[in-house]
């Protein structure tokens, strides 16, 4: 075991040496890419080379890549930008349960400040977006209660367990499996008595995760995009957790959708794949016009004005290329580490429940419900042993709170505080995994 075991790669992962080299090399390029003199044009060539390489990994056209400061900015630009250029009469946002706070909080803000009406979509017992509920929400919109009545949250057989120790979370121990819709964080919806258009909100846009950042469960991006296209609704996909760990293919997912509907925007971030913090991108289809958040020089199709970060773009492109080139072999390696850990966990700590789908998932993300033990307390005990894990998404200003993702699976608030997220990455070794497998049961026994 190394002096420090870092198992929180879903929060951020180490800067790669090759990426640091690319960043330093690009920093030596003198000139503003918007200048028309020779130095400026050389800077522009370096910038556009990085954009083209990133686009090749993301499966889109270079002109569709809008460079940003990271995932949160990309998501906010997509959702606010699509909302403010919405079709006349459309005032609904289709928002699945369990989305990242970048989406949840943006939609909540739009609901409170600009009158958006939120249509929630239930997750299945594995944490995937229910495709029938998603399609229904896109088709008619809903106040929430009607949708849950149409598509009830299914239960699961708690005795079902695969050889890795994964079990369906919903319904364990006789818990109510009705999907709570974000509880206190749910944005308000209209009941038709507020002067609005009635109980049904016509969808202005929809958003969804490609890979769930807490559970690691993968959604059917192609199916979600097709459903949005058929309903004539613009869709944003949050691919931050997926990039480098699962296939990401904007044009393929978009398919033959009509202009302005179906998949039109996709967010990615750099620091999850070994690029510097502060790098990211939003893919915006050439078929859609969204409202910018920043105004100024009109760079990047006018969608994000400001002097562009050449070094950041070069680093992001290099990290994306490396992650994609290594994805097949790395995925296989991470599956091996996952099974190694869960085999020991099932033997030494049978109380643990593994959340998320056992197969359709990111192999490096392991989300555990640990009955009777505070996730925050377990985190501190492991940290004292030199092992870094998390209780969920790191994008909550460092404040521990019950996981809304776990609550969307049918658990209560107390149980949603009894979770740990463990995430392996490129630097994770079998020794790291064994150290966690030894330390976690010991920490758990101290608390229960």
**121 φ, ψ (degrees, to nearest 5):** -130, 130
395 is catalytic: yes
- Rounded Cα–Cα distance for residues 182 and 98 (Å): 8
From the number of C-beta atoms within 10 Å of its C-beta (0-12, 13-18, 19+), residue 282 rates as: buried
**Encoded tokens for 266:** 């996709």
Query: Parallel, antiparallel, or unpaired: how do β-strands 5-6 and 387-388 relate?
Result: parallel
Distance of CA 58 to the CA centre of its chain: 15
> Which of these is catalytic: 395, 401, 412, 438?
395
The C-alpha angle with vertex 345 and arms to 343 and 351, in degrees rounded to 5, equals: 130
Count the Cβ atoms, other than its own, within 10 Å of residue 346. 17
Under DSSP, the state recorded for 239 is -
Coil, strand or helix at 96? strand
Alpha-carbon span 185 to 180, nearest angstrom:
11
Q: How far apart are CA 378 and CA 390, in angstroms?
A: 9
Positions annotated as catalytic residues are 395
């Amino acid at each position: 075991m190394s002096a420090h075991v870092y198992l929180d790669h879903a929060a951020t992962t180490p800067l790669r040496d090759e990426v640091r080299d690319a960043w330093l090399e690009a920093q030596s390029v003198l000139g503003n890419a918007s200048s028309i003199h020779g130095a400026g044009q050389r800077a522009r060539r370096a910038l556009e080379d990085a954009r083209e390489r990133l686009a090749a990994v993301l499966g889109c056209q270079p002109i569709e890549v809008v460079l940003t400061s990271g995932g949160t900015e990309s998501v906010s630009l997509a959702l606010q930008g699509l909302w403010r250029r919405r079709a006349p009469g459309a005032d609904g946002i289709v928002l699945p349960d369990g989305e990242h706070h970048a989406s949840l909080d943006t939609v909540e803000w739009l609901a409170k400040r600009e009158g958006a009406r939120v249509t929630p979509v239930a997750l299945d017992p594995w944490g995937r977006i229910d495709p029938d509920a998603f399609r229904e929400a896109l088709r008619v919109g809903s106040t929430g209660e009607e949708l849950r009545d149409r598509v009830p949250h299914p239960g699961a057989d708690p005795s079902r367990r695969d050889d890795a120790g994964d079990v369906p979370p919903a319904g364990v121990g006789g818990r109510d499996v009705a999907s709570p819709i974000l509880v206190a964080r749910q944005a308000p919806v209209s009941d038709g008595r507020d002067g609005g258009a009635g109980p049904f909100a016509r969808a202005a846009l929809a958003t969804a995760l490609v890979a769930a950042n807490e559970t690691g469960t993968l959604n059917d991006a192609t199916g979600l995009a097709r459903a949005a296209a058929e309903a004539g609704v613009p869709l944003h996909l949050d691919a931050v957790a997926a990039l480098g760990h699962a296939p990401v293919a904007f044009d393929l997912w978009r398919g033959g959708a009509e202009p302005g509907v179906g998949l039109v925007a996709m967010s990615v971030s750099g620091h999850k794949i070994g690029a510097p913090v502060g790098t990211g991108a939003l893919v915006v289809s050439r078929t859609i016009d969204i409202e910018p958040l920043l105004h100024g020089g009109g760079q990047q199709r006018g969608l994000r004005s400001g002097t562009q970060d050449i070094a950041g773009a070069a680093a992001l492109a290099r990290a994306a290329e490396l992650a994609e080139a290594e994805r097949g072999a790395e995925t296989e390696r991470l599956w091996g580490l996952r099974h190694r850990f869960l085999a020991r966990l099932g033997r030494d700590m049978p109380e643990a429940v593994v959340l998320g789908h056992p197969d359709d998932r990111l192999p490096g993300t392991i989300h555990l419900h640990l009955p009777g033990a505070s996730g925050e307390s377990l985190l501190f005990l492991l940290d004292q042993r030199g092992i870094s894990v998390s209780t969920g998404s790191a994008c909550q200003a460092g404040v521990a709170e019950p996981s809304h993702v776990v609550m969307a699976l049918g658990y209560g608030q107390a149980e949603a505080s009894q979770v740990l997220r463990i995430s392996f990455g490129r630097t994770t070794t079998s020794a790291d995994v064994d150290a966690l497998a030894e330390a976690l049961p010991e920490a758990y026994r101290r608390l229960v």
